[in-house]
């Protein structure tokens, strides 16, 4: 579908943009434009346009404001050494958004329209793609129910939007290990629920647990299964990997996709990359007891979290109501650092891209 371009006549000045790019933080400043597309049951997807970034006018009875029929995605565009820009695996994000749409009874956005929207916004706001190493342009596609009314049922109209925000390090301390809190009080997702979908409600429901984690001096929550609070699922916004053994014998273990955790695109990419590097990989259930005992007897040498925002972040210390322990020596381990560098090299175009993950715009 053609995206009609209606750019702003008053973009931010070069000086203002450069100031924003110098220290962007995460999700604080937004580029000059956004993309919108509309869906209704009569016309399907229509009226795709790129317009100046700005507020939305919504009727107070718009359905998304009441029942949370909303889904989103997150992916990044990286400056390349030849001066171009490439986006990491937009087709994978498009596919995940379509699966989230299905779970939330929303109309899937065609992959082509998703990728076209990314291309249109990145091309228009290309001056916003940070050139410094370690920075990128974070893209946030999302879809909301726009029908006006208070009946609880799938809406008959939706708007898809895409906004972009230059991003520095997600965790302000960079590759410094994080301290995590095992949440036995709260649950993120239950079987049959929405854990595998990227929908706002999952994140709203996580905030009280994140608060509890902060109160215990932890950076992030680790979610456990709903039934037994025994099996490790994922972190608040990242998937988890456990490194068994070390050196040439290192083996990566990550919780299997049970339907209650988000199928991370970084997770899937790392499983591929690790196998490329000759490391063993395994998807299976891991209990908190396995984790603790593995750290205590030295079988588990490293634990790290992975996601689009921070790529790879080591886990240094684990705390829970019952016990606390240190992972390895509490620092960033060699496997985490090697995989992190391999991933960053592909994303920043300084290494070959054997799997065709980088999408040139």
CB of 337 to ligand PMP, least distance (A): 18
CB of 205 to ligand PMP, least distance (A): 11
CB of 73 to ligand PMP, least distance (A): 8
Count of CB atoms situated within 10 Å of the CB of 123: 13
C-beta closer to ligand PMP: residue 113 or 238? 238
Strand segments, DSSP code E, in the chain are 4-5, 33-40, 44-52, 70-72, 75-79, 85-88, 136-145, 157-167, 178-182, 220-224, 232-235, 239-244, 251-255, 280-284, 300-307, 311-319, 324-326, 358-360
The torsion angles phi and psi of 274, rounded to 5 degrees, stand at -65, -45
Question: Is the Cβ–Cβ distance between 188 and 233 less than 8 Å?
Answer: yes
CB of 355 to ligand PMP, least distance (A): 15
The torsion angles phi and psi of 255, rounded to 5 degrees, stand at -55, 135
Spatial separation of the C-alpha atoms in residues 50 and 121, rounded to whole Å: 7
C-beta closer to ligand PMP: residue 108 or 237? 237
CA distances from 349 to 82, 91, 129, 240, 308 (A): 9, 18, 14, 25, 16
- The contacts of residue 211 (CB under 8 Å, 6+ apart) are none
CB of 235 to ligand PMP, least distance (A): 7
C-beta closer to ligand PMP: residue 12 or 164? 164
Question: Is the Cβ–Cβ distance between 77 and 137 less than 8 Å?
Answer: yes
CB of 264 to ligand PMP, least distance (A): 3
Question: Is the Cβ–Cβ distance between 218 and 196 less than 8 Å?
Answer: no
CB of 254 to ligand PMP, least distance (A): 11
47 three-class SS: strand
C-beta closer to ligand PMP: residue 313 or 320? 313
- Of 308, 298, 271, which Cα lies nearest the Cα of 76? 308
Spatial separation of the C-alpha atoms in residues 143 and 157, rounded to whole Å: 10
287 three-class SS: strand
CB of 265 to ligand PMP, least distance (A): 4
Contacting positions for ligand PMP (CB under 6 A) = 74, 234, 237-239, 262, 264-267, 307-308
CB of 131 to ligand PMP, least distance (A): 23
Count of CB atoms situated within 10 Å of the CB of 33: 24
C-beta closer to ligand PMP: residue 39 or 78? 78
Spatial separation of the C-alpha atoms in residues 238 and 188, rounded to whole Å: 13
C-beta closer to ligand PMP: residue 179 or 254? 254
C-beta closer to ligand PMP: residue 159 or 239? 239
C-beta closer to ligand PMP: residue 38 or 103? 103
C-beta closer to ligand PMP: residue 31 or 260? 260
């Amino acid at each position: 579908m053609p995206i009609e371009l209606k750019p702003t006549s008053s973009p931010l000045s070069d000086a203002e943009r450069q100031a924003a790019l110098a220290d962007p933080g995460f999700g604080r400043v937004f580029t000059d434009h956004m993309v919108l597309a509309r869906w209704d049951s009569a016309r399907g997807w229509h009226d795709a346009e790129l317009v100046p970034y700005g507020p939305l006018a919504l009727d107070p009875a718009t359905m998304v404001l009441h029942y949370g029929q909303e889904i989103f995605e997150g992916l990044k565009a990286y400056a390349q050494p030849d001066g171009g820009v490439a986006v990491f695996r937009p087709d994978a994000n498009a596919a995940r958004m379509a699966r989230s749409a299905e779970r939330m009874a929303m109309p899937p956005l065609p992959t082509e329209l998703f990728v076209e929207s990314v291309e249109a916004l990145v091309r228009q706001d290309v001056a916003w793609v940070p050139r410094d190493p370690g920075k990128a342009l974070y893209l946030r596609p999302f879809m909301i129910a726009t029908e006006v009314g208070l009946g609880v049922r799938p809406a008959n109209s939706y708007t898809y939007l895409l906004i972009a925000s230059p991003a520095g390090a997600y965790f302000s301390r960079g590759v410094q290990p994080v301290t995590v809190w095992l949440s036995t009080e709260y649950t993120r997702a239950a079987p049959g629920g929405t854990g595998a979908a990227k929908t706002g409600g999952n994140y709203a429901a996580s905030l009280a647990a994140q608060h509890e984690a902060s109160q215990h001096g932890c950076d992030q929550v680790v979610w456990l299964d709903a039934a037994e609070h025994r099996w490790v699922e994922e972190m608040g916004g990242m998937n988890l990997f456990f490194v068994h053994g070390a050196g040439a014998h290192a083996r990566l273990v990550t919780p299997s996709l049970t339907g209650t955790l988000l199928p991370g695109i970084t997770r899937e990419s790392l499983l591929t990359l690790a196998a490329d590097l000759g490391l063993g990989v395994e998807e299976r259930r891991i209990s908190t007891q396995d984790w603790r005992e593995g750290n205590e007897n030295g079988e588990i040498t490293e634990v790290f979290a992975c996601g689009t925002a921070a790529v790879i972040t080591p886990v240094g210390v684990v705390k829970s109501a019952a016990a606390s322990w240190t992972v390895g020596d509490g620092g960033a381990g060699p496997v985490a650092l090697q995989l992190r560098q391999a991933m960053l090299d592909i994303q920043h175009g300084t290494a070959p891209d054997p799997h065709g993950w980088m999408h040139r715009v």
